[in-house]
Amino acid sequence: MAAILFAGLRGRLVSRTRWFAASLIVAGVLAAAFPAAGPTENAPLVVVANVEALIHPVSAEYMVETINRADAAGAALLVFILETPGGLVDSTRTIVTRMLAAKTPIAVFVAPSGARAASAGFLITIAADVAAMAPGTHIGAAHPVSGQGEKMDETTAKKAASDVAAYARTLASGRGRNVEWAEEAVRESRAFTEDEALKATPPLIDLVATDVPDLLKKLDGREIRRFDGRVQTLHTAGARVETLRMTFRQQVLSTLAHPNIAYILLSLGVLGLTIELWSPGAVLPGVVGGICLLLAFFTFQVLPVNYAGVLLILFGLGLLVLEVKVASYGVLAVGGIVSLVLGSMILIDAPTPELRVSLSLIVPVVVALSAILLFLVRLAVLSQRRRSVTGVSGMLGATGTALTAIPAGGEGRVSVHGEIWTARSAEAQAAGDTVLISGVDGLVLTVRRRPVTKEPSP
């Protein structure tokens, strides 16, 4: 009986062992046939960079560096998420030139919803291998304007528009986009929604996507034509997405490169150094002013500065200083304020309002700076005109009291400013008389009797 029981248990154990081994084999086969979902080291690499800034040298440097890194890493696709009101033509050309020469296919995605890619952003979008937009976005309005944003004369306007329009036609033609609409965006400042841009014949953009994952899903297996005519198939399924952000230096420069920030730094720098010069030894205003002024000059290397604006600002400050010292009946003050306002308005030579100093900032800064400078200069002038209270100048005209009798042509003792002095007088002075100091000869004072002022009779 025991032998039969042992044999049964042994059979069950062998059966379970075989079942477990078979399960492991099946699991291994399934794992090999169906690998785990998600990106692996062998999955294609997609680089994503967010460009939410004006197009200026700092953002151009960031985009060019991103393209270089994507090329070096052998990325399957580079996606620029673009949101910009526009920027500088020179920086735009730098970016587009590098985009056209890139080994990595580049997609420009105007996102998120509500964003825009105007002016320079429009040219960057149509220059990409893939132009995509999120719902509720728009592109266009690329008409060139003068550096001060004002209307140019007819000849200059035609030259500028023809130049940028030809550039837009070249980019649109090379990418197979709507050349006519690209030119209208420049010459007529036309703007297009994502629906209009996609349904144009031929279209201005390639597709509409809600976000980056949706964009990668729609691009997987899609054939694109590079600018040199080569046809390439995109593989973005299961891709590893790597986001490249601005370096700390670029973030700081991008923040400082805003015209309003640069103008505030310049104003604080001038004010701080002015206070330090009129009040030597204060230290703090000089240190803060120096730092702000150096940062402002550094920012001016990034922004397109109109040096005529800088000269007008300096000229205005000089007129405000002269107003206190010269009797101009307010003419110099008015001229100084006007010069400050005009200089501030043309300080940044840029084509878009976002790249120029805001008038709502210029007015309060000019008023405050003018008031502070006039107040400081007035204090300095008053202190120079005030009568000295020390040394020989401080003694002349002071009053004292005769401590002893002073004979005519003789000497005696007087008390002045709490001090006892030897004094001589051309006329006799009695002890206790109030005397007036009329001269100082070394340590001997010359005094005379203080005139008695008669009160008017009622």
Cα 59 to chain centroid, rounded = 12
pLDDT band, very low/low/confident/very high, at 137 (cuts 50, 70, 90): very high
Question: 41: pLDDT confidence band, cut at 50, 70 and 90?
Answer: low
pLDDT confidence of residue 13: 42
Amino acid at 2: A
Concatenating the DSSP letter of every residue in 85-110 gives S-B-HHHHHHHHHHHHT-SS-EEEEE
Q: Both 74 and 114 in a single domain?
A: yes
The predicted pLDDT at position 7 comes to 43
Tell me, yes or no, whether 135 lies in a domain: yes
Q: How confident is the model at residue 219 (pLDDT cuts 50, 70, 90)?
A: very high
Confirm whether 36 is domain-assigned: no
The model's confidence at residue 317, banded by pLDDT at 50, 70 and 90, is: confident
Among the ranges 119-133, 269-283, 318-332, which has the highest mean pLDDT value?
A: 119-133
Instruction: Please state, in angstroms and rounded to a whole number, the distance separating the CA atoms of residues 250 and 8.
Output: 77
Q: Are both 240 and 265 inside the same structural domain?
A: no
User: Residue 23: which pLDDT band, with cuts at 50, 70 and 90?
Assistant: low
Cis peptide before 202 (omega within 30 of 0): yes
pLDDT surpasses 80 at 274: no
Instruction: Find the mean pLDDT for residues 265-287.
Output: 80
- At residue 229, the 3 state secondary structure works out as coil
Domain C-terminal end among 351, 370, 385: 385
Per-residue pLDDT for 380 more than 70? no
Whether 368 and 397 map to the same domain: the answer is: no
Residue 329 counted as domain residue: yes
Backbone angles phi, psi at 343, to 5 degrees: -60, -40
Between residues 179 and 374, which one has the greater pLDDT? 179
> How confident is residue 33, by pLDDT bands cut at 50, 70 and 90?
very low
Query: What number is the average pLDDT over the span 300-313?
Result: 79
Radius of gyration of the chain (CA): 41
Written as six digits, the tokens of 235 are 């593989």
Residues 331-360 have a mean pLDDT of 77
Lowest mean pLDDT segment, chosen from 27-41, 134-148, 217-231, 329-343: 27-41
Give Cα 64 to chain centroid, integer Å.
Answer: 20
Q: Which span out of 23-27, 48-52, 401-405, 411-415 was modeled with the highest average pLDDT?
A: 48-52
The β-bridge relationship of strands 77-82 and 411-416 is: unpaired
Integer Cα distance of 276 and 291 in angstroms: 13
Flag whether 17 is in a domain. Answer: no
pLDDT at 328: 65
Which whole number is the average pLDDT over 313-330?
74
Q: How far is CA 300 from the centre of its chain?
A: 10
Confidence of residue 385 (pLDDT cuts 50, 70, 90): low
Sequence-separated (6 or more) residues with CB below 8 Å from residue 184:
190
Q: Using the 3D structure, point to which of 199, 226, 249 is the last residue of a domain.
A: 249
**Between 211 and 347, where is the model more confident?**
211
Residue 104 sits in a domain of what CATH number? 3.90.226.10
pLDDT at 27: 46
* CA neighbours closer than 13 Å in the CB half-sphere of residue 339: 19
Between 178 and 286, the more confident residue is 178
Q: What is the pLDDT of residue 152?
A: 55
Q: Please check the confidence at residue 277 and state whether its pLDDT lies above 50.
A: yes
> Is 212 a domain residue?
yes
Is residue 281 domain-shared with residue 238, that is, in the same domain?
no
Residues 304 and 341 in one domain: yes
pLDDT confidence tier of residue 68, bands split at 50, 70 and 90: very high
Q: What is residue 325's predicted lDDT score, i.e. its pLDDT?
A: 67
pLDDT over 70 at 125, yes or no: yes
Helices vs strands, H then E, count in the chain: 15, 16
Please report, rounded to a whole number, the percentage of residues in the chain having pLDDT higher than 70: 80
For residue 371, pLDDT over 90 is answered with: no
Same-domain check for residues 224 and 297? no
Amino acid type, 257: A
Task: Quick: pLDDT tens for 167-215.
Answer: 999 999 999 999 999 999 999 989 999 999 999 999 999 999 999 999 9
Determine if the pTM surpasses 0.75: no
Least trusted range by pLDDT, from 148-157, 235-244, 360-369: 148-157
Higher pLDDT, 56 or 145: 56
Same domain, yes or no: 58 and 93: yes
Q: Is residue 24 part of a domain?
A: no
Residue 343: give the domain boundaries: 258-385
The span from the CA of 146 to the CA of 7, in Å, is 100
Asked if the structure places residue 26 within a domain, the reply is no
Q: Considering the domain boundaries, does residue 129 fall inside one? A: yes
The mean predicted confidence, pLDDT, of the chain is: 82
Beta-ladder partners of 226? none
Q: Is-contact 399 418, C-beta < 8 A?
A: no
- Are 83 and 137 in the same domain? yes
Across 16-20, 164-168, 398-402, least confident range:
16-20
Q: Which pLDDT does position 206 carry in this prediction?
A: 96
Residue 240, strand partner residues: 45
246 confidence band (pLDDT: 50, 70, 90)? very high
Answer yes or no: do 245 and 263 share one domain: no
Per-residue pLDDT averaged across 224-233, rounded? 92
Are 268 and 357 found together in one domain? yes
Name the domain count of the chain: 3
pLDDT over 90 (residue 122): yes
Residue 104: CB atoms within 10 A of its CB come to: 22
Q: Are 56 and 204 contained in the same domain?
A: yes
The better pLDDT of the pair 352, 120 is held by 120
Is 316 in the same domain as 367? yes
Domain boundary among 187, 220, 249: 249
